[in-house]
Structure 1
Amino acid sequence: MNAEQETSRAFDLMAAIVAGDADMQDGIAYLGKEGVSSVADALLVLRQELSTRTTKDDPIDFRQLRKESPPQITSQIKHAIPKVPFVLHGTEYEPQDITRFDGQELHFIATPKSDHMLVVDDRNLIVDWWQFTYLDRYRQSIDQRIRSDLPEGRTNFRDDPNLKGYVLPTNANRGYNRLSQVDRGLFGDWNDVISSFSMSGVQVAQLHEHKYYAGESFSWVLPYGTEYGEVRDLWYYGWADRASSVGTW
């Protein structure tokens, strides 16, 4: 697979799924060709490695990400209107149409050009896709059991737009499942204050509206081979000051 194809694979897969032209089995089939014979075994290898690192943040746990949100959370969802259109089930909607889906849990993925978002309304599907991006990034380490090959990197979440204000560094392959318990110095905690972030040496950053990764989510995925990225104002996507848990890998 050439460099251009490498750059667009994860986005192409999700875009095809949203359009109804593919499903996650296509992603699993690709990983199999790349040497990842068992998703469960691969995740176990990575989790064992990550659990040995001593940091304040927590290892990514897809079992926790997969838990359904409590009905009382879903029923109270009021969507913030983004500045870009979005595509759901193959239909493109204008930003203001997001209010049609109040009371329904949605998961948002920014596209490379930031001119629209892909939207998924199935938690199991979005978690399967997160697993695909995770395993695809580390497939060589999984196949060869080379623990030292896991990349170091981090996402720096900020409490002000334009990458200003306090910073919450989050290590690669880890997250914070309860930002209300993470200290922000004189200004309290990190719950519902993240407004921008930058990424270095990681591929995915995700924000969740509620603690323990419940409720809606927003994902930013860097193209393959890109070592740095940033979102200078989450307000553009309707996600400023909303996150109660975060993760990155």
Structure 2
Amino acid sequence: MTKVVFSILLAIVISILPEMTTVSAIEPVNKYFPNQGTLDSTFKTPLSPSEIVAMYPMSAEEEAKIIQVIPQCPVNVDGTWYRAEEITLFNGQQLHFTTDTTGALYAFTDAKAMETFLEAEYGKIYDLPFNGSIQNLRLDQSELFKDWMYSGELMQLAPFIQLSNLASLGWDDCISSAKICSTAPVTLWEYSGFQGNSFTMPADSNHAALTFEGWNDRASSIS
């Protein structure tokens, strides 16, 4: 009798074993890695936003077309605080946005003034460690996401890389959140070719919803 019961139990276990051990496949995270060799034009010398503005100046005609996007928070422009909706007072002007150590939003009509502000907040953010070798920084990657809260498709970005045309990579106007690496800031530019407004995210900063700063689905180039 005992053998019969054991045989029955064994048969039941064997019959359900495939169902118990079946594991559904998990979809891998969809990541995008820019081709460092062909897209990084500053492999030896990082460029700050003010240097990029000098290299790629915006024409007066194009600057006059700028329409400011209203953020979800007050913004300090050139030392004066404005309500979020008052950013439209600066339509037709190129602005360079960033955040301080508390996450408050600042904007400057001059990129160099923004960099001076950032250095006062964070130190010499454009100075290279490791004797100036960018190669040594390549393992430290910033992460840009197509959706809020660090979700959706992911782009991993090496420090100081320049991407002048995100449309060619399928990433135009679709960056919604970001985690910035600890060694270098990342600057988003409103238009391709490093044109229009910019938003510099300091090193080691997180931005769970770029709509807060008015930069959701807005970037067309990166430096």
Scaled by the length of structure 1, what TM-score is found? Answer: 0.63
> Shift of the alpha carbon at 1:64?
3.7
**What secondary structure is seen at the aligned counterpart in 1 of 2:106?**
strand
Q: Which residue number corresponds to residue 71 of structure 1?
A: 60
1:195 maps onto 2:184 in alignment: no
1:155 maps onto 2:142 in alignment: yes
Percent identical among aligned pairs is: 23
Q: Which residue number corresponds to residue 70 of structure 2?
A: 81
If you compute each CA radius of gyration, which structure gives the higher value, 1 or 2? 2
Q: Which runs of 5+ in 2 are unaligned?
A: 1-35
Q: Which residue number corresponds to residue 49 of structure 1?
A: none
Q: Which residue number corresponds to residue 121 of structure 1?
A: 109
Q: Which residue number corresponds to residue 239 of structure 1?
A: 215
Q: Which residue number corresponds to residue 106 of structure 1?
A: 95
- For residues 129 and 47 of structure 2, the distance between their equivalents in structure 1, rounded to whole angstroms, comes to 17
- For residues 193 and 150 of structure 1, the distance between their equivalents in structure 2, rounded to whole angstroms, comes to 26
Q: Which runs of 5+ in 1 are unaligned?
A: 1-52, 183-188, 223-227
The structure whose residues are more often helix, as a share, is: 1
**What secondary structure is seen at the aligned counterpart in 1 of 2:212?**
helix
- For residues 229 and 55 of structure 1, the distance between their equivalents in structure 2, rounded to whole angstroms, comes to 27
| RMSD between superposed Cα atoms in Å | 2.6
1:163-188 deviation per Cα after TM superposition (whole angstroms, max 9, x unaligned): 11111111112121110111xxxxxx
Contact 1:160 1:194 (C-alpha < 8 Å) held by counterparts: yes
- For residues 148 and 208 of structure 1, the distance between their equivalents in structure 2, rounded to whole angstroms, comes to 24
> Shift of the alpha carbon at 1:124?
4.7
Of 128, 134, 140, which aligns to 2:126? 134
Q: Which amino acid aligns with 2:72?
A: K
Of 34, 37, 41, which aligns to 1:54? 37
- For residues 108 and 244 of structure 1, the distance between their equivalents in structure 2, rounded to whole angstroms, comes to 15
**What secondary structure is seen at the aligned counterpart in 1 of 2:69?**
coil
- For residues 94 and 83 of structure 1, the distance between their equivalents in structure 2, rounded to whole angstroms, comes to 9
- For residues 193 and 229 of structure 1, the distance between their equivalents in structure 2, rounded to whole angstroms, comes to 19
Contact 1:156 1:168 (C-alpha < 8 Å) held by counterparts: yes
- The structure 1 segments of at least 4 consecutive aligned residues displaced by more than 3 Å after TM superposition are 53-58, 60-65, 123-132, 146-152
1:37-88 deviation per Cα after TM superposition (whole angstroms, max 9, x unaligned): xxxxxxxxxxxxxxxx736444244554423212232111111111121222
